[in-house]
Chains A and B, each alone.
Chain A
Amino acid sequence: MAVALDNPSNFMTTRLRQAVNWGRKYSLWPLPFGTACCAIEFMSTVSSYNDISRFGAEAVRFSPRQSDLLLVAGTISYKQVPILKTIYAQMCEPKWVISMGACASTGGFYNNYSTLQGIDKIIPVDYYVAGCPPTPENLLSALVSLQDRVQNEGLVPSAERHQQVIR
C-alpha cells in the first residue's frame, strides 16, 4: 500500500484483494450455532465485559443468509448433523467456520452413540478453539487469527473452500 501525501487530492494505492479483504476481516458476521455450554461462553464474549464488537464481529445473525462466519459452539449430536450441514450449505461465499470447544472439534469426552466425533467430519473448519468450554479470551484469540487468515486469502474463494461436504 502506498499513500501519496504530497498530492493535493490525497490518493492511495493498494491491491483490490487487500482492500476487499481488509473490509471483510473487520466485518465478520457470525452465526452462532450454539447448542451447549460453549454457547453460554459465546454470550459472555458478546456481552459488555469482553465485547466482541471491538473486533467488528458483533452483528450476530441467526440467518445463514446474512452471515459469513459459522461459529459452531457446543456438542453436535447425530440428530443435529443434517441441520448443521444445511445451515452451512445455505451460507453464501465467502464463509468461514470456527469450531468452538472440545465437543465441536473432536467430540470431547463424549465418545458415544449420539455424539458426532468432530464437525470436520461433515463440514470444513478454519479454526479450532481448545477448551471445555473455551474462555471468551480464547474465542477472541481465534477470531483475531481468523482475521489474519481472511486478510491473506484470494478475492474469490479458493477451490479447496468449495470442497464437498464430506458425508
Chain B
Amino acid sequence: MSQKLVDSLKSEFGDKIVSVNNSCGDESVLVPGDSLPAVLKYLKESESCEQLTDVIGVDYPERTERFEVNYLLRSIANKSRINVKVAVEEGMDIPTVSDIYKSANWAEREVFDLYGVKFRNHPDLRRILCHHEFEGHALRKDYPIEQGQFLSTPEKLIDDIEYHGGAFRADEVEGEDNPFDLLNVNIGPSHPATHGALRIEVQLDGETIVKAKSEIGYLHRCFEKEAEDHTWSQVMPYTDRLNYVSSMLNNCIYASSVEKLLGVEVPQRAQIIRVIVSELSRIIDHLVCICANLVDIGALTNYWYFYNIREGIYYDIIEPLCGSRLTTNFARIGGLSHDLFDGFEDAVEKHLQKMEVAIKEVTGLIARNRIFLDRTVDVGVLTTDEALSYGYTGPCLRATGLDYDVRKHAPYSGYEDYKFDVPIGENGDTRDRIMVRMEEMYQSASIIRQGIQKLTPGPIALDNASVSLPPKESVYGSIEGVMNQFKLISEGIKVPAGEAYGYGEGANGELGFFCVSDGTGQPHRLKVRPPCFPIFSAFDEIIEGLMIADAIAILGSINIIAGELDR
C-alpha cells in the first residue's frame, strides 16, 4: 500500500476524492462513479498501476448507496497498491473500465451476476457464475442461501457467436449449401481435456479456430455465500476446496489474511511449517499440472512418472500430517491445527530426492523432443503487457518474462529469510509455462530444505484466548478452558470491524482474500481473488487463430482448476 498514490490522486482530482480510508494498512479512496474511469486511467498511465487485481462488490443493505464496488489496483514497478471504491445505489449503474483493464471484463460480469450492479457500456454484460435462467442476485444479503433454482435449458453460446461473422471464406461461395461453412464445435463441460467443468465453444475453419467463446460457472459452489453463513474458523475447510490440488496453500493464505485483519502474527515455528507445507503443495500442484498437460499433448509416460511422486508425498507426508489427502484443513487462524509428526524431515527429504529424479527424467523426455517442441514453442504466446492487463500472475506471468512473485515482492510468513530464485521465461508460450513450473519445483525444494534447517521447537499456535482454541487438557480440566472453547466454537473469533486484502503466492498465481468484518464472528464479505479467473478470461483471445489441438495444449499449460475458477 502506498500513501504516495493517495497524495497523487488528491492533487490530481482534488475534491472529487470523497474520502480516504486506511484499514489494516490498506489505503482506499472513495470516488464518485462517474469519475471512476478518469481515476483509473490516471493511475494506469501516470502512476504505472499496470494491473487491476480484482473488482469486488460488497452489499451493505442498511446504506442508501447499498453496494460498494472495490477496484484493487497494483503497481508492480513501484511495489504499491491502492483500492478505489465506488458506492452505488440499487438500480443505478456505473461506467465500465473494461476498456482500460482487460481483466475488468469478467470481473465486472461477476459483480453484475452476484449483486446486480450494472456497468454502463460493458461489451458483454451477462451472468458468469450462475446459470442464465437464475432469478435474483445471489450474494445480496436478502437472497436466501438455500434457494436453489433448476436450469431447464443450457445456454446456447452458438447464438452468441455471430454466425459466420468475420469469416474469411463464407462470402466466397453464394447459396445456402456453402461448402466452406464454418463449423461450430462445443468442447465441454464434460470433456477429458478441460480438467474440470469448463465449456468452450469454438468456430472452426478446417482445424483453425476462427472464434472462441468460453463459459464458466459449472462448479460454482458459492464459497463466498457459504463464508458469510459461517464463522471465520469454519470457512477453513471450504478453502481446501478452492484449488483442491494445493489446498495447504489456500489454508495458509486464508489464515494469514484473517490474521492481517486481526492484527496478530503467528509464532515462528508455525510460520516455518506454513512455508514448508505451502511449498510442498506448490510442488504437488505443478506436478499435476505438468503431467496432465503432457497427457493432453500425448506424452503419457510422464503422467506415471510425476503422479507416483505425488502419491508418495500424499501417502507419506500429507496424510500422516493432517489425516487426509486432498482436503487438508491444516492451518488455523493464529497458527496450525497440529504439529509435525516424528520423522517428518526424513520423509520430506526422501520424497524431494525422488522428485528431483523424476523431474530429470521428464525433462530428459521432453526438453529436446521434436513433437513436444513443435506442439509448444511459439504456441499460445501472450506478451507481458497483455498478460498484465488481463490480470495474470504466477507462473503464467513469469513465463512472459516478468519476475513478479508475491514471495519476493511483498514477503509474508517470513519468505524474506529464504534464498530462492524466481525463474522466468522468454516468449510466454506453452513451453515456457511448463518449463517455469519445472524450475519452480527445484526452487520450492530448496525453500523446504532451508525451512527444515530453520525449524526450532516452539508453540505452533498463538497464545491468545480470543483467537486460538485452548489446549485439550485445559478444555477437559478447567471451567475457563471449557468456556473459552465454547465461545470460540459457537460464536466464532470476533474479528474487529474493518477490511483487509491478504494475499500470497498460490500455485497458479496471486491468491487473495478480501475480508470485510462487521465485528461479529462471521465474515460480512469474503471475496476470493483466484489466480485462475483472470488467466482463463484471456483464453478466448489466445486461441483465436490457432489450431484446435493447440487450444487443448494451452488450456493445460495455464492450469485451470475449476474449484478456484468458479468458487
Contact = CB atoms under 8 A, between A and B. Distances in A.
B295 to A, nearest CB: 10
B327 A114 contact: no
Interface stretch (B58-66, B98-106, B237-245, B495-503): B237-245
Contacts of A79: 130-131, 151, 154, 217-218, 220
Interface in A109-127: 109-117
A83, A113, A132, A135: residue with the most chain B Cβ atoms closer than 10 Å: A113
A135 B311 contact: no
A113 B138 contact: yes
Interface residues of B, number: 50
Contacts of B225: 112-113
B549 interface: no
Given A35-B197, A35-B562, A47-B303, A114 B222 contact: yes
Given A40-B245, A135-B325, A49 B190 contact: no
Q: Interface on chain B toward A: helix, strand, loop, or mixed SS? A: loop
A36 interface: yes
Given A43-B307, A83-B154, A132-B327, A113 B148 contact: yes
Contacts of B152: 82
Interface stretch (B42-50, B139-147, B343-351): B139-147
Contacts of B130: 79, 114
B327 A33 contact: no
Interface in A41-85: 41, 43-44, 47-50, 62, 74-75, 77-83
Nearest to B230: A109
A63 B14 CA distance: 62
Interface string B330-372: 0000000000000000000000000000000000000000000
A80 B151 CA distance: 8
A48 B309 CA distance: 11
A40 B244 contact: yes
Interface in B213-227: 217-222, 225-226
B138 A35 contact: no
B146 A49 contact: no
Contacts of A110: 221-222, 226
A146 to B, nearest CB: 21
Given A80-B189, A116-B148, A37 B563 contact: yes
Nearest to B241: A37
A82 B154 contact: yes
A40 B562 contact: no
Contacts of B144: 113
Nearest to B295: A43
A32 to B, nearest CB: 9
B192 to A, nearest CB: 4
A109 B314 CA distance: 23
B307 A35 contact: no
Interface string B175-194: 00000000000000111100
Nearest to A61: B192
Nearest to B196: A35
Contacts of B238: 109
A82 B151 contact: yes
A132 B325 CA distance: 10
A40 B218 contact: no
Contacts, number: 129
A127 B122 CA distance: 47
A82 B152 CA distance: 7
A23 B355 CA distance: 40
A77 B221 CA distance: 7
B149 A75 contact: no
B150 interface: yes
B288 A62 contact: no
B149 A113 contact: yes
A79 B189 CA distance: 10
B218 A35 contact: yes
Contact of B220 (A39, A44, A114): A114
B189 A37 contact: no
Interface string B7-27: 000000000000000000000
B146 A113 contact: yes
B217 to A, nearest CB: 6
Contacts of B218: 35, 77, 79-80, 83
Nearest to A116: B148
Nearest to A62: B192
Contacts of B163: none
Contact of B327 (A48, A115, A133): A133
A113 B303 contact: no
9 contacts: A44-B310, A77-B221, A79-B131, A81-B151, A111-B145, A114-B129, A115-B221, A133-B244, A167-B150
Given A48-B308, A50-B311, 5 more contacts: A35-B562, A79-B130, A83-B189, A83-B218, A110-B222
